Amino acid sequence: MAVFCGAAGNKFLFSGQNKYITSWWPDSIKKALMDPSSVDNSSKEESTKLRAYLPPFLKPESLQHFIPVMDIMAKEHLNQHWSPYNEVQVFPLSKKYTFALACRLFMSVRDDSEIENFAKPFALATAGLMSVPIDLPGTTFNRAVKAGRLIRQRLLALITKKKNEILEKGKRVASDLVDSMLMDGMTEVEIGNKIVGFFIASHDTTSTAITFIVSYLSDYPEVYNRVLEEQMEVLRCKEAGEPLRWEDLQKMKYTWCVACEVMRLAPPANGSFREAITDFTYAGYTIPKGWKWSGVLDGAYNAQKSEILPGSREI
């Protein structure tokens, strides 16, 4: 496996699929999460199809609808889980918030107990994603496989229910991601695989980003004060209780710079996987066809410009 770190190597790997490489997921991810009976469960195809859904879901027009929901849920979350306490654990709480948000935006699930029904097996499944894929009782991977099966069962029941609602009510406008996949004619199993993929891709990344932002803000009070000042300015221009809108986000220029700088110093995603589909040479190194690649988004590298990660050669 070739491990890429540094800006140029990562840019080459991640700035879009090129003719030398394709996406690839390790067996542990595929076996724990994907339905083995699904016809298109080649990880390359899965990844490509998953990516195809990203731009329509995250395009600005869609995000505009999500912002008031995110804001209202964030306020409820803070009132319930942060404000009453003198001390809180930011990472578990950020996960709680982002998971509930994903349940709402992906599949309109709002009920706390229903969210928990997905959150518990999901935590077990993610713990096994990077484990050795040997399915023996008692291993992290075995727990992840079982949890993955449970998540898919529960998702399938939910997706079937939503499909029946669409058919019965003749619904034409999608309320969430599952609806839009159903309206595109995807099967329940395909949708289940994709929703699991979306959960994995969005959950730890966003909660890690939130956690590091809070951590850096507490380390740099002068930055915290400027962020607070900008947020208070946005608040002053709004009616009492009015939720955040797209236009308000455009005013958060300094806050956004802080978020970007935190993600540069402490990247929320560790990296991603690629496979060489042909022999080729990059920066003087020959990469044979079939070699696996991993891009390492290394915050320490960004912060200190350290030369090479232990055990890897920078390309």
Binding-site string for ligand HEM from residue 183 to residue 222, where x marks contact by CB under 6 A and - marks none: --------------xx--xx--xx--x-------------
- Cβ atoms of residues 279 and 289 within 8 Å: yes
Cβ closer to ligand HEM: 121 or 197?
197
Identify any residues that bridge with 21 across adjacent strands, giving them in sequence order.
276
- Identify whether the C-beta of residue 65 lies closer than 8 Å to the C-beta of residue 57: no
Nearest distance in Å: CB 182, ligand HEM = 18
Quote the DSSP letter at residue 278.
S
User: Which is nearer to ligand HEM, 201 or 234 (by Cβ)?
Assistant: 201
Is 272 a residue that touches ligand HEM (CB under 6 A)? yes
Q: Phi-psi bin for 6: left (phi > 0), alpha (psi -120 to 50), beta?
A: left
2, 50, 93, 186: residue in contact with ligand HEM (rule CB under 6 A): 50
Exactly one of 23, 62, 117, 180 binds ligand HEM (CB under 6 A); that residue is 23
> 238, 213, 240: which is closest to 227 by C-alpha?
213
Binding to ligand HEM (CB under 6 A): which residues in 66-125? none
Give phi and psi for 271, each to the nearest 5.
160, -165
Binding residues with ligand HEM: total (CB under 6 A) = 16
Q: Is 51 in the site for ligand HEM (CB under 6 A)?
A: yes
Q: Which is nearer to ligand HEM, 54 or 308 (CB)?
A: 54
Given the complex with ligand HEM, which of 47 and 94 has the nearer CB atom? 47
* 153-162: long-range pairs with CB below 8 Å, 24+: 154/117, 154/118, 154/121, 155/118, 155/191, 155/192, 155/195, 155/196, 156/188, 156/189, 156/192, 158/107, 158/109, 159/107, 159/188, 159/191, 159/192, 159/195, 160/188, 162/107, 162/108
Distance set, CA 138 to CA 27, 106, 118, 143 (Å): 19, 32, 21, 7
- Shortest distance, position 114 Cβ to ligand HEM, whole Å: 19
Which of these segments, 60-68, 158-166, 211-219, 268-276, binds ligand HEM (CB under 6 A)?
268-276
DSSP class per residue in 185-241: T--HHHHHHHHHHHHHHHHHHHHHHHHHHHHHHHH-HHHHHHHHHHHHHHHHTS-TT
Taking the complex as a whole, how short is the minimal distance between the CB of residue 123 and ligand HEM, in angstroms? 18
Minimal distance, residue 231 CB to ligand HEM, in Å: 19
CB closer to ligand HEM, 43 vs 124 = 43
Is the CB of 44 or the CB of 238 nearer to ligand HEM? Answer: 44
Pick the binder of ligand HEM from 134, 269, 300, 303 (CB under 6 A): 269
Helices (H) and strands (E) in the chain, counts: 14, 6
- Smallest gap from Cβ 45 to ligand HEM, in A, equals 10
Whichever of 162 and 203 has its CB closer to ligand HEM, that residue is 203
Interaction site with ligand HEM (CB under 6 A):
14, 23, 47, 50-51, 54, 197-198, 201-202, 205-206, 209, 268-269, 272
